[in-house]
Chains A and B, each alone.
Chain A
Amino acid sequence: MAAAGLALRGALASGAAVAVRRRGGLWSCLSPLPAAPRRSAAHFAFQPDPAPSAYGQTQKMNLFQSITSALDNALAKDPTAVIFGEDVAFGGVFRCTVGLRDKYGKDRVFNTPLCEQGIVGFGIGVAVAGATAIAEIQFADYIFPAFDQIVNEAAKYRYRSGDLFNCGNLTIRAPWGCVGHGALYHSQSPEAFFAHCPGIKIVIPRSPLQAKGLLLSCIEDKNPCIFFEPKILYRAAVEQVPVEPYNIPLSQAEVLQTGSDVTLVAWGTQVHVIKEVAAMAQEKLGVSCEVIDLRTILPWDTETVCKVLLNGSTAFCCVGHSSQFRIISKLAEGTLCPLIQVTDEYVE
């Protein structure tokens, strides 16, 4: 274990500073290294998954195209489904809803005025009345006026009405995460704010293939869901995605790579950074990393993650935006694993 720790220290010196918070007293031999050279732009390489064979014919799609495909499938299958939000009619600011209004009509794909609280409140109403509501918030940074509606209304509707009513037909989609030039209000990752609110589900895909399956699952799920789409991947992530609808189950983390020394948990864009890190660690340190994509943040897959920890992984790296760290820190409470955190570069 100590050897692995030292090895970790050695390898990561080239790319990042390493120090370990002393939690188990196991790492006292290590000391902080000099600070990393500062990169002035976020860097990661999208790593596509191989094309699946189980779902029929596939087509090359990027993230926004896979979202459009999912929405197309949803509107085709469910005649009560409606899509609304700011600027969705012409296709959306990220082109996620291109062509849908022409195909399904203006009473199923329509614009709302600039009013996030109104959009979500209205969406809850649509869902409670029995139609499938797919609301878009233009950027996750703007979700805060709707925070009250999500947390106080949507999340608690089923509970407070004793299951007489529910807004399970509601799905809220929002572009999420840093993009390099977004600054304060086009870069936020607010999932941690919602992660402590029972009654809603939060899902964040890492790729087009994941996004379509997870979005379709969210839409069909009988609970209100928030689906965050990593905006930096809208064009950058290209994969072979099935044309037909398919579902990826919620609350199931995916183990992308098994390993025995260190467990790395991430979601969204960070998964690709983590995969690079895992490869680097293996190559330069001989450290075997387990890489897990959490996918659903709430309710998260405790079984998969804890099983790995209990199997003897020595350290537990939580990777992601600093707000994501607070979610995972709950995981490590109660385990003897030291916690290391690395996040993506500063929002510019």
Chain B
Amino acid sequence: MRKMLLAALSRVLQGPAAAAAGRTGAVSEASRVMVASRNYADFANEATFEIKKCDLHRLEEGPSTTAVMTREEGLHYYKTMQTIRRMELKSDQLYKQKIIRGFCHLYDGQEACCVGLEVAIKPTDHVITAYRAHGFTYARGVPVREILAELTGRKGGCVKGKGGSMHMYTKNFYGGNGIVGAQVPLGAGIALACKYFGKNEVCLTLYGDGAANQGQIFETYNMAALWKLPCIFICENNRYGMGTSVERAAASTDYYKRGDFIPGLRVDGMDVLCVREAAKFAAEYCRAGKGPILMELQTYRYHGHSMSDPGISYRTREEIQEVRSKSDPITLLKDRMVNNNLASIEELKEIDVAVRKEIEEAAQFATTDPEPPLEELGNHIYFNEPPFEVRGPNQWIRYKSVS
């Protein structure tokens, strides 16, 4: 509607000479200025927000308590979070239709974590996380259609249909790991490689509140601190390890202090700006060579642990509703942007519509793309070996393994 108005206005202002240009879509200088001044008149370019102070462990100073967000940044965060939200809801739908099978752990409610982290680091930094990985996969640059196709096990998926929900990878994103806590020592290893290659990169190593009680995590804390690895340990505390609440699983629920000799921050994980500022602070800390740092993001998941968990046997519907109404990350961002004149409700609605369309198309692709061919079943077991045969369920069914 506004676009039509602007186009009409620009034609009127330019006069008949530029009318032809206007019709073909080219906008003259005059009208461009007109459009820009309408933008500036309508919206602020940026705004400053107060964010929650982080609790600190072994740190003198923490991240700043104010954050500046520009209009473009706000729209980008909004679009990314909304895409992840709709993608997860679409996955829920596809799972219930049995188009996605196996295991599916959904990330809705926690979008602020992956978006806040991604915008605070560089694309050349590294990320590794556990099985609730769809949000990170998207944030790290995999298009929605490849994520959904991977969930449905088609060859258009980011891992060619062989990985599934828990095993999605892309450049500088090491998955997607099924075994709880197993990815944390890997993350420290990646951090060591970063330090070794000297490219000033960091590694974000994520795990959950359930995994925080695994022994290998403490082994990793020790190694990372001893060798001053540029590793940012991030505990996404969504209050429940599958069905067990944190109070019933952990002697200390101050997950940001669990690193003991590693400094820590506790961050409001439902506020994308809070996560962003904390992650920037942590990345700077690591890049300065001071060693590892630990961040606890306090967040919440709306779905159950996985699609086979209704999510209401260990928590009340009221609790979920309360978090949804008071701390939803997308609503929080939307309110901030609208109240500070960074965007209008209509504009954000347009983004919603565009996102829905993108997800629909991606789901269409994911449902119609063919499965990987059976000949590829045995591939990628080894590297660079001459092709050999892998035995199938009996010794007369052979799959050729090409590496």
CB 8 Å contact bits of B226-247 with A (1 = contact, 0 = none):
0000000000000001111000
Q: What CA separation (Å) do A21 and B102 show in the bound complex?
A: 36
**A-B contacts at CB below 8 angstroms, number:** 78
CB 8 Å contact bits of B206-221 with A (1 = contact, 0 = none):
0000110111100000
Q: Which residues of A contact B167 (CB under 8 A)?
A: 184
Most A-side CB within 10 Å, residue of B167, B213, B248, B397: B397
Q: List 14 A-B contacts (CB under 8 A).
A: A17-B396, A90-B314, A111-B248, A113-B244, A113-B250, A115-B214, A117-B215, A118-B215, A142-B180, A182-B102, A184-B167, A342-B393, A343-B394, A346-B392
Q: Which residues of A contact B243 (CB under 8 A)?
A: 87, 90
Contact residue among A21, A87, A90, A113 (Cβ-Cβ distance under 8 Å from B395): A21
Contact residue among B103, B210, B393 (Cβ-Cβ distance under 8 Å from A114): B210
Interface status of B86 (Cβ within 8 A of chain A): no
Q: Which residues of B contact A181 (CB under 8 A)?
A: 101-103
Q: Which residues of A contact B101 (CB under 8 A)?
A: 181
Q: What CA separation (Å) do A86 and B242 show in the bound complex?
A: 10
CB 8 Å contact bits of A337-348 with B (1 = contact, 0 = none):
000011111101
Q: Are A184 and B395 in contact (CB under 8 A)?
A: no
Q: Are A35 and B214 in contact (CB under 8 A)?
A: no
Q: Which residues of B contact A185 (CB under 8 A)?
A: 178-179
Q: What CA separation (Å) do A145 and B391 show in the bound complex?
A: 28
Q: What CA separation (Å) do A115 and B217 show in the bound complex?
A: 11
Residue of A nearest to B211 (CB): A114
Q: Which residues of A contact B213 (CB under 8 A)?
A: 113-115, 118
Q: Are A114 and B241 in contact (CB under 8 A)?
A: yes
Interface status of B259 (Cβ within 8 A of chain A): no
Q: Are A35 and B397 in contact (CB under 8 A)?
A: yes
Q: What CA separation (Å) do A115 and B394 show in the bound complex?
A: 36
Interface status of A186 (Cβ within 8 A of chain B): yes
Interface status of A322 (Cβ within 8 A of chain B): yes
Q: Which residues of B contact A117 (CB under 8 A)?
A: 215
Q: Which residues of A contact B102 (CB under 8 A)?
A: 181-183, 348
Residue of B nearest to A16 (CB): B394
Most B-side CB within 10 Å, residue of A182, A183, A322: A183
- Chain B contact residues: helix, strand, loop or mixed: loop
Binding site for A on B (CB under 8 A): 101-103, 164, 167, 178-181, 210-211, 213-216, 241-244, 248-250, 313-314, 374, 391-397
Binding site for B on A (CB under 8 A): 16-19, 21, 32-33, 35-36, 38, 86-87, 90, 111, 113-115, 117-118, 141-142, 145, 181-186, 322, 341-346, 348
A36-B396, A346-B392 known, 11 other contacts, Cβ within 8 Å: A19-B396, A33-B396, A35-B396, A86-B244, A111-B249, A113-B250, A114-B211, A117-B215, A118-B215, A141-B179, A181-B101
Residue of A nearest to B167 (CB): A184
CB A18 to nearest CB in B, in angstroms, measures 7
Q: Which residues of B contact A114 (CB under 8 A)?
A: 180-181, 210-211, 213-214, 241, 249
Q: Are A345 and B393 in contact (CB under 8 A)?
A: yes
Q: Are B394 and A341 in contact (CB under 8 A)?
A: yes
Q: Which residues of A contact B244 (CB under 8 A)?
A: 86-87, 111, 113
Q: What CA separation (Å) do A100 and B164 show in the bound complex?
A: 37
CB A319 to nearest CB in B, in angstroms, measures 10
Q: What CA separation (Å) do A17 and B313 show in the bound complex?
A: 47
Q: Are B214 and A183 in contact (CB under 8 A)?
A: no
Q: Which residues of B contact A346 (CB under 8 A)?
A: 392-393
Q: What CA separation (Å) do A342 and B248 show in the bound complex?
A: 45
Residue of A nearest to B392 (CB): A346
Residue of B nearest to A184 (CB): B178
Q: Which residues of B contact A186 (CB under 8 A)?
A: 103
Q: Are A183 and B392 in contact (CB under 8 A)?
A: no
Q: What CA separation (Å) do A220 and B374 show in the bound complex?
A: 48
Q: Which residues of A contact B242 (CB under 8 A)?
A: 86-87
Contact residue among A19, A183, A341 (Cβ-Cβ distance under 8 Å from B103): A183
CB B15 to nearest CB in A, in angstroms, measures 66
Q: Which residues of B contact A142 (CB under 8 A)?
A: 179-180
Q: What CA separation (Å) do A19 and B398 show in the bound complex?
A: 13
Q: What CA separation (Å) do A36 and B374 show in the bound complex?
A: 14
Q: Which residues of A contact B211 (CB under 8 A)?
A: 114
Given A87-B244, A111-B244, are A344 and B393 also a contact pair (CB < 8 Å)?
A: yes
Given A184-B178, A343-B394, are A113 and B103 also a contact pair (CB < 8 Å)?
A: no
Q: What CA separation (Å) do A89 and B391 show in the bound complex?
A: 42
Q: What CA separation (Å) do A93 and B314 show in the bound complex?
A: 13
Q: Shortest 5 CB-CB distances between A and B: which pairs?
A: A17-B396, A113-B213, A185-B178, A113-B249, A114-B210
Q: Which residues of A contact B392 (CB under 8 A)?
A: 346
Q: Which residues of B contact A86 (CB under 8 A)?
A: 242, 244
Q: Which residues of B contact A343 (CB under 8 A)?
A: 393-394
Q: What CA separation (Å) do A258 and B393 show in the bound complex?
A: 26
Q: Are A145 and B178 in contact (CB under 8 A)?
A: no
Q: What CA separation (Å) do A199 and B264 show in the bound complex?
A: 44
CB A118 to nearest CB in B, in angstroms, measures 7
